Amino acid sequence: MLDDYDHEELDIKGITEQETLFPEYDEYLSFITEMYSDFESDVFAKPKD
């Protein structure tokens, strides 16, 4: 979907026939770990209270 947005090819009616794929929890954590050094701060990648 982000690629479609970038190329201004979103479905105007909001109907998609492609299955939505969501990353697994471990994949999210892996992605955050990869980004951590680029965005290191007091709040990035810290669990919310």
Domain boundaries, the chain: 14-49
Which residues have C-beta within 8 Å of that of residue 33, sequence separation ≥ 6?
45
Question: d(Cα 33, Cα 28) in Å, to the nearest integer?
Answer: 9
**Residue-level pLDDT at 45:** 66
Q: What is the pLDDT of residues 1-49, one digit of tens each?
A: 677 777 777 777 777 777 888 899 999 888 888 887 777 677 766 777 6
**CB-based contact 4:10 (threshold 8 Å):** yes
Q: CA dihedral in degrees (14, 2, 25, 41; nearest 10)?
A: -130
**Residue-level pLDDT at 1:** 63
